[in-house]
């Protein structure tokens, strides 16, 4: 049994996330965690809300709330939505919690002792009208690299280029929109990443199994242009973790806080500490290599815009501290999910957000479509036609129809018990052999975290059962040979149990319904399909479940398409 630490990129606290955010980290991490737990491994699945920095202050100001109150409220909302999508975090923490303050300050002091912190006088944008220095995300303008006119002062979300606010063309205050800006001097701490370049390069080159997307972004940031640069780790903000040195305010930086991208990844560790405090577990065996974490496989999930910070800045913090912290083993990154030919937009009301999705349909509908269209190798696109097709064909016609036909036919001809009589014949043996091959393929794809391939193989397993049932036609065979029909239905009922177990990572609610109907909630991952086909013996009681999935009508699809098209 392996020990697997899984972290999902921390969602910003500033509002409810859309479906693209959901498929970019939290949902795939949950699928992997569920699968690994199903295989008997010890899994710890960690996430938290990312609460510091200008996004939190801006959102709180817009909401008319104190920032601490706003963050507490939005954490509860995001935690509830994660539960609504059946995302089974062991702990969903907050980067504003005391554990993260302590750890972040400790890392900064360790880096300072290692000579990797420097005090730098920066030229930073000051808004005369707002009477304050503007942190990176308080500055918006045109990206000098790609021309995107809503680039932020830390990074262009369009081309992912790392920026400084002074790089922007025609910068403006994100607080007031004012262009009455000046460049003034201010003192900050920098992490001397350039000194870590050789060590980081060697580490990245050793990660030969990473996805191409992850490695290509890491190497681009490491080598393109002037290569890896020193990076500021403090900001002129009120809300955040105070900058300390030797347990006291850092002289000359008493009014500063740590940069959100310095403290946020440390939040993974802090959330684990909080989990351990609540459960009585030992967090160090997951994060400290001097306490057993060397045996842990650590897997991170994130969108491609987060890759630079997780392949360079956070590892620089870990390595530079000189302390025995666990480094990530595998980074699963994702491209973007677009919406109907464009981007999701909160301001324009364009696209479906997590709360809206759950108001429309249960979570399994969304989980299945998003995961089966996961943007792994390129950007993918949500369209209502594709969503309707995926739900109707995959969930309703293939899986739901199979469960309904088998259970209802058995009830009508044999009662609500697995029927006795007859033996499996060549047709059943051929199906079992085919499914053995498909099961191994499914497991291989899941182990490799190939989400779309896994979903496609799972669907193929469902399809195989449907094709068998259609060819076997027990409703016709029953008239001439009831024993033969009994054997066919016995196999089909065992297939429902198998489908439920295999489908748990993707559609957990439907899987639970199937297992309850089959009176098999204790079912475990099969050693083989042959074994699974005799798990429900003759005489085993079951019930006919309610319809697993309802189809989406053309009228409903058109209504939703119009409702979430946005303002233009």
Note the pLDDT tens digit of each residue in 325-351: 999 999 999 999 999 988 888 777 889
Distance separating alpha carbons of residues 34 and 527, to the nearest angstrom: 17
Note the pLDDT tens digit of each residue in 494-533: 999 999 999 999 999 999 999 999 999 999 999 999 999 9
Q: What is the CA radius of gyration of the chain?
A: 27
For residue 214, the 8-state DSSP code is H
pLDDT of the residue at 430: 97
pLDDT of the residue at 509: 98
196 with 321: CB under 8 angstroms?
A: no
Q: How far is CA 97 from the centre of its chain?
A: 22
Distance separating alpha carbons of residues 505 and 41, to the nearest angstrom: 14
Pairing of strands 117-127, 132-133: antiparallel
83-106 average pLDDT score: 98
259 with 234: CB under 8 angstroms?
A: yes
DSSP 3-state assignment of 111? Answer: helix
Distance separating alpha carbons of residues 357 and 81, to the nearest angstrom: 10
Binding-site residues, please? 143, 146, 156, 159, 346
Q: Which residues have a Cβ under 8 Å from the Cβ of 367 and sit 6 or more positions away?
A: 27, 85, 86, 506, 507, 508
Higher-pLDDT residue of 140, 226: 140
Note the pLDDT tens digit of each residue in 106-141: 999 999 999 999 999 988 889 999 888 887 878 999
pLDDT of the residue at 386: 97
Binding-site residues for ATP, please? 346
Distance separating alpha carbons of residues 241 and 474, to the nearest angstrom: 67
- Domain boundaries, given as residue ranges, for the chain: 383-532
Whole-angstrom CA distances from 163 to 139, 168, 231, 440, 481 are 11, 8, 11, 45, 74
Note the pLDDT tens digit of each residue in 38-50: 999 999 999 999 9
* Statement: residue 263 has pLDDT above 90: yes
Reported confidence tier of residue 568, pLDDT bands at 50, 70, 90: low
Quote the tokens at residue 135.
């942190």
296 with 35: CB under 8 angstroms?
A: no
**CA geometry: angle at 419 spanning 415 and 423, to 5°?**
160
By residue count, the chain amounts to 568
**CA geometry: angle at 121 spanning 120 and 122, to 5°?**
105
71 with 94: CB under 8 angstroms?
A: yes
Torsion of CA 98, 99, 104, 110, to 10 degrees: 130
Predicted structure pTM score: 0.92
Binding-site residues for Zn(2+), please? 143, 146, 156, 159
DSSP 3-state assignment of 450? Answer: coil
Note the pLDDT tens digit of each residue in 281-298: 999 999 999 999 999 999
197 with 216: CB under 8 angstroms?
A: no
Spell out a b/e string for 23-62, using b for 16 or more CB atoms within 10 Å of the CB, else e. Answer: bbbbbbbbbbbbbbbbbeeebbbbbbbbbbbbbbbbbbee
Mean pLDDT, the chain, as a whole number?
Answer: 95
497 with 532: CB under 8 angstroms?
A: yes
For residue 544, the 8-state DSSP code is P
pLDDT of the residue at 176: 87
518 with 511: CB under 8 angstroms?
A: no
Give CATH for domain 383-532. 1.10.730.10
73 with 16: CB under 8 angstroms?
A: no
132 with 231: CB under 8 angstroms?
A: no
Quote the tokens at residue 310.
């997780």
Note the pLDDT tens digit of each residue in 510-519: 999 999 999 9
């Amino acid at each position: 049994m392996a020990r697997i630490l899984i972290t999902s990129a921390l969602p910003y606290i500033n509002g409810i996330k859309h479906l693209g955010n959901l498929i970019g980290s939290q949902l795939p991490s949950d699928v992997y965690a569920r699968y690994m737990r199903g295989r008997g491994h010890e899994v710890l699945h960690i996430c938290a809300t990312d609460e510091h920095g200008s996004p939190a202050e801006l959102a709180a100001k817009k909401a008319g709330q104190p920032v601490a109150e706003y963050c507490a409220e939005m954490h509860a909302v995001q935690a509830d939505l994660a539960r609504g999508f059946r995302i089974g975090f062991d702990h969903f923490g907050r980067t504003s919690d005391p554990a993260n303050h302590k750890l972040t300050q400790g890392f900064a002091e360790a880096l300072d002792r290692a000579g990797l912190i420097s005090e730098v006088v920066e030229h930073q944008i000051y808004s005369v009208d707002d009477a304050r220095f503007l942190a990176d995300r308080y500055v918006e303008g045109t990206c000098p690299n790609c021309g995107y006119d809503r680039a932020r002062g830390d990074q262009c979300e369009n081309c992912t280029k790392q920026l400084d606010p002074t790089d922007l063309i025609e910068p403006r205050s994100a607080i007031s929109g004012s262009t009455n800006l000046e460049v003034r001097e201010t003192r900050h701490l920098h992490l001397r990443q350039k000194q870590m370049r050789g060590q980081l390069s060697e580490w990245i080159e050793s990660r030969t199994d990473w996805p191409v997307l992850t490695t290509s972004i890491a190497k681009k940031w490491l080598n393109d242009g002037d290569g890896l640069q020193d990076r500021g780790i403090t900001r002129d903000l009120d809300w955040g973790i105070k900058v300390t040195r030797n347990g006291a305010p850092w002289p000359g930086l008493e009014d500063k806080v740590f940069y959100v991208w310095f403290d946020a990844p440390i939040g993974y560790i802090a959330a684990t500490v909080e989990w351990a405090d609540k459960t009585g577990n030992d967090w160090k065996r997951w994060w400290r290599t001097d306490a057993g974490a060397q045996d842990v496989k650590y897997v991170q999930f994130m969108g491609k815009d987060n890759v630079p910070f997780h392949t360079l800045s956070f590892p620089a913090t870990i390595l530079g501290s000189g302390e025995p912290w666990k480094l990530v083993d595998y980074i699963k990154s994702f491209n973007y999910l677009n919406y109907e030919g464009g981007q999701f937009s909160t301001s324009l009301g364009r696209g479906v957000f997590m709360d809206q999705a759950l108001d429309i349909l249960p979570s399994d509908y969304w989980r299945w479509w998003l995961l089966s269209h996961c943007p792994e190798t390129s950007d993918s696109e949500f369209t209502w036609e594709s969503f309707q097709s995926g739900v109707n064909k995959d969930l309703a016609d293939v899986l739901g129809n199979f469960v309904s036909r088998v259970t209802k036919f058995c009830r009508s001809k044999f009662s609500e018990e697995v029927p006795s009589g007859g033996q499996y014949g060549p047709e059943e043996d051929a199906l079992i052999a085919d499914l053995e091959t498909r099961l191994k393929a499914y497991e291989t794809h899941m182990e490799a975290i190939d989400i779309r391939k896994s979903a496609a193989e799972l669907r193929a397993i469902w399809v195989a059962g449907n094709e068998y049932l259609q060819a076997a036609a027990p409703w016709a065979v029953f008239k001439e040979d009831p024993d033969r029909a009994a054997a066919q239905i016995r196999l089909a009922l065992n297939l429902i149990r198998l489908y439920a177990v295999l489908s748990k990572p993707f559609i957990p609610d439907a899987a639970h319904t199937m297992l309850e109907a089959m009176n098999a909630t204790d079912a475990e991952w099969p050693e083989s399909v042959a074994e699974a086909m005799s798990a429900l013996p003759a005489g085993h009681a079951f019930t006919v479940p309610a319809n697993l999935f309802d189809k989406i009508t053309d009228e409903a699809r058109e209504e939703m398409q119009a409702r979430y098209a946005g303002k233009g």
